[in-house]
Structure 1
Amino acid sequence: MIAAQLLAYYFTELKDDQVKKIDKYLYAMRLSDETLTDIMSRFKKEMEDGLSRDTNPTAIVKMLPTFVRSIPDGTEKGDFIALDLGGSHFRILRVKVSHEKKQTVQMESEIYDTPEDIIHGTGTRLFDHVAECLGDFMEKKQIKDKKLPVGFTFSFPCMQSKLDEGILLTWTKRFKASGVEGMDVVKLLNKAIKKRGVK
């Protein structure tokens, strides 16, 4: 909705010749109904291949179980840390959920760069970097002496057999840190946190 409003605003601010140039480029990107239907059916087949036990190993779209059996129902409360690793930036959030008169959610976050030498270095250096950033965040937020539950978003294909385990199948998105594929990233994270001394 907001994106549509912004587009409408920008288009009203453009001159006619600018709008014509944009329309010319957008026209070339239009797809016919037949092409869209073909894309949809191919994508559906790839998802079905990913879901099938027989074709999953060779499927292009991996459909991997997450073992998340429920979603938030609005009664949650507490103080949490969320880690999000999946690109050139690493994000840490502190999320406070309370239920005084109504549910309120407060969030504080920091974004940390993930340099190329860490993305392409060793897994030990990568997870040490994550633990270092976490330590810095907890210091800044003055919560280094608190024991808080941690949620870890690791945006790469992982095989899970339980909620607190993720075996990295393969790196994507330019990541190539050695010694991580085939390993449990939760264990690697915990090991780095213990070594760093973050509680």
Structure 2
Amino acid sequence: MSSNRILPESLVERVASLCSAFSPDATVQQTVVEAVENEIIAGLNAHSAHPGEWREEDCSLMMLDSWVKAIPSGSEKTITYALDLGGTNARFLRLVAKGNGVVEEKIKIQNIREVDDKKYPDGMLDRRVTASKFFDYFAQSLHNFMKESGDLDDFNEEEKEVFKLSFSFSFACQQKSLTHADLLFWTKGFFTGMDTEDPVEKRDVGALMAEALKRNSVPMELVALVNDTVGTLVSGAYQKPSNIPACLIGVIIGTGFNICYYEENAQKYEYSGKVINMEMGSFNKALPYTIADIEVNFIKKI
């Protein structure tokens, strides 16, 4: 049976019409670019007026302080672990930075929706999972990863040797230091702790992670807490070839969408760091209104 069916012209036109809505012309693109620039300026001025306090009426972009004061040159040398949490999967990494932009990495990926406990159908995202259980899960997973990597074979507890941990936590947080970040609200289908007296929202996820490491006797010290855009920027800056321009922007397009950038004049706007987390997904100015928006808004009202 032939598969070379000719689609009705009306259907072809319908598909073309739908697709064209997502291909804005140059005029629309320029309008959006100018709107983004205006929002960035408004967000910087708003942060200068009331540091650490986002007001939606001032700017749709949160323009959050990352507390990252510099980006790497590529010459740094260290061994560190990293935990990357931003969606259904958690990534555990062992990184060896060798200098000259070279990084050796070992990665382990776990689906945090799929756990052995049948009590929680949504896994670690379940609203009945407490903050303690949530972070214990990651601490225990890190401990197992260290064993698999051989870093505990000759470990001497008496020497108090600990490994560094960088935590990429890709949710909107109010950052108060490089290791202190209060989760403003969950997104991406996370409801962890919402039906418990031990929630995650409105609490310092850095402290929760550090407490879990200590509680589970994991020889690690949390040294940095960033979101995935900042992690992407730092990683790109370290690994970029020396003959290309500086890496100053980090972009994530995945379960969510976000951008961070290096702001040379950050101190002028009362930032402690120089990398600003824009929380770009909340941008709502000058975007074209498509049939998809109409349908989504209609479904929300049902």
TM range (shorter): 0.7 to 0.9
Identify the residue that residue 75 of structure 2 maps to in structure 1: 75
* Greater alpha carbon shift after TM alignment, 49-58 vs 72-81: 49-58
Tell me if structure 2 keeps the 8 A contact 1:86–1:154.
Answer: yes
Identify the residue that residue 109 of structure 1 maps to in structure 2: 107
Identify the residue that residue 187 of structure 1 maps to in structure 2: 207
**1:118 and 2:133 matched:** no
Tell me if structure 2 keeps the 8 A contact 1:47–1:62.
Answer: no
Distance, in Å, in 1 between the alignment partners of 2:215 and 2:97 is 30
Q: 7, 25, 32: which is aligned to 1:32? A: 25
Report which structure shows greater RCO (CA 8 Å, sep ≥6).
2
Deviations 1:1-31 (A, max 9, x none): xxxxxxxxxxxxxx9x9xxx8x947545321
Distance, in Å, in 2 between the alignment partners of 1:57 and 1:103 is 39
- Mapping for residues 10-21 of structure 1, pairs under 5 Å: none
Distance, in Å, in 1 between the alignment partners of 2:38 and 2:19 is 29
One-letter amino acid of the counterpart of residue 164, structure 1 = T
Q: CA deviation at 1:45?
A: 3.7
* Greater alpha carbon shift after TM alignment, 53-62 vs 65-74: 53-62
* Greater alpha carbon shift after TM alignment, 79-88 vs 173-182: 173-182
Distance, in Å, in 1 between the alignment partners of 2:124 and 2:22 is 37
Tell me if structure 2 keeps the 8 A contact 1:112–1:133.
Answer: no
Return structure 1 stretches of 4+ with deviation > 4 angstroms. 23-28
Distance, in Å, in 2 between the alignment partners of 1:80 and 1:109 is 12
* SS of equivalent residue, structure 1 residue 138: helix
Identify the residue that residue 47 of structure 1 maps to in structure 2: 40
**1:87 and 2:87 matched:** yes
Q: CA deviation at 1:134?
A: 0.7
Aligned CA distance change for structure 1 residues 28 and 65 (closer, same or farther; 3 Å): closer
Distance, in Å, in 2 between the alignment partners of 1:76 and 1:85 is 25
Q: Calculate the TM-score normalised by the size of structure 1.
A: 0.78
Q: 132, 139, 148: which is aligned to 1:140? A: 148
Distance, in Å, in 2 between the alignment partners of 1:134 and 1:119 is 18
Distance, in Å, in 2 between the alignment partners of 1:184 and 1:82 is 18
Q: CA deviation at 1:196?
A: 1.4
* SS of equivalent residue, structure 1 residue 70: coil
* Greater alpha carbon shift after TM alignment, 50-59 vs 77-86: 50-59
**1:198 and 2:218 matched:** yes
* Greater alpha carbon shift after TM alignment, 55-64 vs 65-74: 55-64
* SS of equivalent residue, structure 2 residue 73: coil
Identify the residue that residue 154 of structure 1 maps to in structure 2: 169
Distance, in Å, in 2 between the alignment partners of 1:126 and 1:49 is 37
Deviations 1:11-63 (A, max 9, x none): xxxx9x9xxx8x94754532122222232233334434433146832243211
Q: 130, 137, 141: which is aligned to 1:129? A: 137
Identify the residue that residue 10 of structure 1 maps to in structure 2: none
RMSD: 2.6
List gaps (5 residues or longer) in structure 1.
1-14
Aligned CA distance change for structure 1 residues 117 and 60 (closer, same or farther; 3 Å): farther
Q: CA deviation at 1:128?
A: 1.3
Identity %: 29
Aligned residues: 179
* Greater alpha carbon shift after TM alignment, 173-182 vs 50-59: 50-59
Distance, in Å, in 1 between the alignment partners of 2:79 and 2:103 is 10
Identify the residue that residue 285 of structure 2 maps to in structure 1: none
One-letter amino acid of the counterpart of residue 154, structure 1 = F
